[in-house]
Amino acid sequence: MDDMNKHDYYYHPLPGSDSRIDQCSNNNNNGEINEGGASSHKQNNVHHINKYALAGAILASTNSILLGYDIGVMSGAVIYIRQDLKISSVQVEILVGCLNVCSLIGSLASGKTSDMIGRRFTIMIAALTFLIGAILMGLAPSFTFLMFGRVIAGIGVGFSLMISPVYVAELSPDLTRGFLTSLPEIFITLGILLGYVSNYALSSLPLGLNWRIMLGISAFPAILVALGVLAMPESPRWLVMKGKFEEAKQVLIGTSENKGEAEYRLAEISKAALNSIALSRNKQGVWKELLITPSRPVLRILIAAIGVNFFMQASGNDAVIYYSPEVFREAGIQGEKQLFGVTIIMGIAKTCFVFISALVLDKFGRRPMLLLGSLGMAISLFGLGMGCTFLQNSDEKPIWAISLCVVAVCATVSFFSMGLGPTTWVYSSEIFPMRLRAQGTSLAISVNRLISGVVSMSFLSISEEITFGGMFFVLAGVMVLATLFFYYFLPETKGKSLEEIEALFEDELH
């Protein structure tokens, strides 16, 4: 970038496009870069949250509340579905997990879709698809019909989980990208809490009506998300890739501290776009570059992105939330109101810690939060395993053992919300180079969804074989492995532009 700053503004044609781009300079005619531009902004380490970028990030992240609500509400709704439709434990697992498995379809399709039609309209597709699924679930007269609704909703979830973090990462200024890209996880957590509240509030309705309303009302936020997309700006990086430089510049001016910083960011993005197009012309396609002939840096990026997404779901967090009433019942808590009340406490704890993590992620960095979260989860899951094992082998249900299980579950989801929860979306959406970002992220999120589905669909069956205590000991071991992986394979990315991050993987990882 230093070479760019030695010249006055000039027009540079982008290959494959007739459009031209103004590139910024560092000369006496325009001192904005030195005085208030991106370089000065980084050196001063000012963590000012741009209101325009924040508004766009909130609108995009609101889509994630749909997944969170489904996770939270299904934990209670499945109790009544089981009673009403007379389904087995295996059918319960299939019903719960199929949304995650089917979200693979949306995750894989969203990469190509977002490159073709843009990030904004892909977010709209996600919301509308989930809307259809929510209506079908709310009206379901049978288990088969309910499953069909879950499949449709799952596709929408897959679109949402991939596109929201990518859009926010591409829109956000460098120094606040961690916080803004954490917003999808914050909205997932808020959705989970709303799902728990819905369970508690609607549990006293007649059987058959209660679970249908619990599932059906998620259609309303989907409508709001679809309408909110109309007010969102498009990703400036997608606009540059399409040769729409003036539109990209206007978006960057809105999300930057001043015009100088906007022009600096535009020049940086445009240089990356030129490199991406040049590399793309020498290769047969994105998927070949990712999976068949990846360079060494791309391979490292792929391992990092897939690894963090794998461990996010291998931690068992989603399964613990989906089946939290079963876990608390095993811990000796009886009565549906009591069960739902405890899950609300768990949801509040989870929500508080995800906010804390989002606020400090740009200050402390991605690696420290991942290491703290995964190590904390390992200890909490080990304590949960001890508590469940003691209660299972004891005729009495001492209050201290029940309290240990409740505290351990709350600690587990809280440490998840501090580390893997928000940081996974941030990290996997920012480390891919521009030409690979959409489809690379979609591949990583697909692994996320696959592992989530496998864990959710096998959690009860495995727990019946090895007990809940044994299951939590296994998950504790998984989190120890995750801690080692994060320490050895993930470089720190805080404060760096998306265009600078790729260089991190060209050196040996420490």
Which residue's entry shows tokens 């088969």?
144
For residue range 233-244, what is the model confidence (pLDDT) as tens digits? 888 888 988 888
Tens of pLDDT, residue by residue over 159-190, are 888 888 888 888 888 778 888 888 888 888 88
pLDDT in tens, 133-161: 989 998 988 999 999 998 998 898 888 88
Structure tokens at 465: 């074989």
Task: Taking residues 402-410, report their average pLDDT.
Answer: 86
pLDDT at 39: 43
What whole-number distance in Å separates Cα of residue 411 and Cα of residue 320? 12
pLDDT score for 29: 37
Tokens describing residue 491:
């470089």
Whose CA is closest to 440, among 269, 302, 292? 302
**CA pair distance 370, 373, nearest whole angstrom:** 5
pTM above 0.85, yes or no: no
Give the model confidence (pLDDT) of 65-99 as tens digits: 887 888 788 878 888 898 888 888 888 888 888 88
User: Is the pLDDT reported for residue 476 higher than 90?
Assistant: yes
Q: Is 243 left (phi over 0), alpha (psi -120 to 50) or beta?
A: left
Label residue 373 by pLDDT band (50, 70, 90).
very high
**Which DSSP category does 15 fall into?**
T
Q: What is the pLDDT of residue 309?
A: 94
The full length of the chain comes to 510
Q: Please check whether residue 499 is in contact with residue 272, taking contact to mean a CB–CB distance below 8 angstroms.
A: yes
Q: Is the pLDDT of residue 405 over 90?
A: no
d(CA 142, CA 129) in angstroms, rounded, equals 21
Are the C-beta atoms of residues 416 and 301 closer than 8 Å to each other? no
| pLDDT given for residue 44 in this prediction | 46
Q: Give me the mean pLDDT over the 370-376 stretch.
A: 95
Partner residues linked to 11 by β-bridges: 22
Question: Taking a C-beta distance cutoff of 8 angstroms, is the pair 489, 374 a contact?
Answer: no
Q: What is the pLDDT of residues 461-470, one digit of tens each?
A: 888 889 888 9
Q: Which residues pair with 13 in a beta bridge?
A: 20
Separation between Cα atoms, residue 277 and residue 258, nearest integer Å: 29
Instruction: Name the packing angle between helices 336-364 and 177-202 (round to 10°).
Output: 170
pLDDT, averaged across the chain: 80
With CA atoms as reference, report the closest residue to 176 among 279, 52, 313, 86: 52
CA distance 342 to 337: 9
Return the H-helix or E-strand segment holding 282.
Answer: none
Closest residue by Cα to residue 437 from 192, 235, 110, 166: 166
Q: Is 396 in a helix, a strand, or coil?
A: coil
CA-to-CA distance for 110 and 117, rounded, in angstroms?
10
Which amino acid type is present at position 360? V
Interval 269-296: pLDDT, tens: 887 777 666 655 555 577 787 888 888 8
One of 1.20.1250.20, 1.10.15.40, 1.10.10.60, 1.20.120.160 is the CATH number of 51-233+283-504, namely 1.20.1250.20
DSSP reduced 3-state for 22: strand
What is the C-alpha to C-alpha distance for residues 285 and 328, in angstroms, rounded to an integer? 49
Alpha carbon of 404 to those of 227, 271, 320, 322, 387: distances in Å? Answer: 45, 55, 16, 20, 6
Instruction: Measure Cα distances from 39 to 28, 115, 267, 495 in Å.
Output: 16, 29, 13, 11
Is residue 25 scored above 60 in pLDDT?
Answer: no
Taking only the tens place, the pLDDT of each residue in 411-444 is 998 999 999 988 998 888 888 887 788 888 888 9
Q: CA 248 to CA 435: how far, in whole Å?
A: 17
Both tokens assigned to 488? 């050895």
Tens-digit pLDDT profile for residues 35-61: 344 444 444 444 578 788 888 888 888
Residues 460 and 323: beta-carbon distance below 8 Å: yes
pLDDT top residue among 226 and 476: 476
Is the separation of the CB atoms in 177 and 361 below 8 Å? Answer: no
Which range among 134-138, 296-300, 339-343 shows the weakest confidence by mean pLDDT? Answer: 339-343
Kind of pairing between the strands at 20-22 and 11-13: antiparallel
